[in-house]
Chain A
Amino acid sequence: MAIDGNKILHVVMEGSKIRDEKGIIPIFGVYVNLFFVDYYNHLSFEFMKKLGAEREAEAAMLLVQAAQECAYATFQGIRNSREWEEIVEPMLDVKEDQILGFAAVANALGWGEMKVKALVPEEKLVMHVNGWYEAPGYLQFHDRSNSSKCYGIRGVAGAFMDLVYGETYPDGCFTFWAEEPFCLAKGDDCCEFIARKTPQKNHS
């Protein structure tokens, strides 16, 4: 069965309207909030600026790590949720389909359209993402960049592979690590992410 992204989107949009008595939105096994993307862009790009050009690689790695740990825990919660079991699970035929299910949920969360361009089981994931906010947010206030800017999706791509091909949760985080060879912020036509198995599982 193909993944029905519209059905997943509908569940997320409806679920996002339900708050508990504490003003919190519990959906897909996690607590969700809705907030302006300018907040996240300001945090990321000012963080990079404060660490300076000589620490750019370290700063980028910290932001990717934060996103990957998050996505690893988030999508583990999602795939163990009642909503996943009832709505998404029936759409999955093979193990690899989980990544398509994750991508559909991410799109519903407002993270952009994720297209899987290539998937080599246990080895590599190539995704194109249209509509993620970091690259456009960067270009809003800066000139074209020499480096890629979508730290969040780099972490997400790595986490998708960690969850499907890494060790059993919670021991599989950072089994994979993603780079972004093409990015709108650099003037490329799209943002492309490639997650590959890390030589050694150590990015901390």
Chain B
Amino acid sequence: MRHIDWNSELVRDGHGLFLSGLPIAMHCHHYSINLQKTLEDTLGTQGVELLVEAAERAAYAGFRSFLSKYSRIKGVKSRLEFASTLYQNCGLGIIHFQDMESEGGVVMSPSSHHVTGWLAKHGRRQTPGCHFARGWIAGVLAVIYDRPFHYYIVEETDCKMSRQERCIFHVRERA
């Protein structure tokens, strides 16, 4: 829980649940994975793009809100560490930013909510499936490097849903 005062960030107001002042909900792996599968099965590539974009949009707004409250976290390294901690605190998994520069880099995840959920419900898949993580990474990196929304493209080259050892994401600037 380094950096984050979780007790003051995660609060109830009436029947709503808020994280850093923004409304959130707790959902379990059944919902995360059912939504993903519904979108992939119904819309194909368009569904994948929608999953990435929705996560990117929400992560961008959410991380900006968080950083605005923690003004002492200024450097890129501290912001990256803050983002990893937030990912873990939200129960989304473990994420490590590696060799990151403002132009791009590599992100590694040894475990995640979506991987655990997908494997529990559907077993191994043939193609990388961490669309949520791709969007989340793109969203927080745009905030960390003070870039506009939708600035980065994130591709997943290795995925634990396909029984690879870890999930590897490559980040680059959108042309």
Interface set of A (CB-CB < 8 Å, partner B): 9, 12-13, 16-17, 19, 22-25, 30-40, 42-43, 46-47, 50-51, 62-63, 65-67, 69-71, 73-74, 77, 107, 109-113, 130-131, 133
Contact = CB atoms under 8 A, between A and B. Distances in A.
Residue from the set B28, B88, B92 with the largest chain A CB neighbour count within 10 Å: B28
A25 B50 contact: no
Interface stretch (B14-22, B72-80, B145-153): B14-22
29 contacts: A12-B26, A23-B91, A23-B94, A30-B30, A31-B91, A32-B26, A32-B27, A33-B27, A33-B32, A33-B90, A33-B91, A33-B113, A34-B24, A35-B25, A37-B25, A38-B54, A38-B58, A42-B50, A42-B53, A42-B58, A43-B35, A43-B39, A69-B34, A73-B30, A74-B31, A107-B15, A110-B15, A110-B16, A110-B17
B32 A22 contact: no
Given A23-B93, A32-B26, A131-B15, A43 B116 contact: no
A31 B31 contact: no
B46 A32 contact: no
Interface string B37-76: 1110011001100110111011101100000000000000
A144 B3 CA distance: 41
Contact of A33 (B15, B26, B94, B120): B26
Contacts, number: 168
Contacts of A63: 38
A23 B31 contact: no
Interface in B112-142: 112-113, 116-117, 120
Contact of A51 (B17, B22, B35, B42): B42
Contact of B54 (A9, A33, A46, A107): A46
Contacts of B15: 107, 110, 112-113, 130-131
A19 B25 contact: no
A32 B110 CA distance: 18
Given A16-B26, A34-B25, A110-B24, 17 more contacts: A22-B93, A22-B116, A23-B91, A23-B93, A31-B113, A35-B58, A38-B58, A39-B57, A51-B43, A66-B31, A71-B30, A74-B28, A77-B30, A109-B25, A110-B23, A110-B26, A131-B14
Interface string B1-18: 000001000101011110
A19 B89 contact: yes
A111 B25 contact: yes
B24 A62 contact: no
B87 interface: yes
A112 B12 CA distance: 11
B111 interface: yes
Contact of B112 (A23, A38, A51, A77): A23
B16 to A, nearest CB: 6
B60 to A, nearest CB: 10
A89 to B, nearest CB: 20
Contact of A32 (B6, B88, B91): B91
A62 B35 CA distance: 9
Contacts of B61: 36, 38
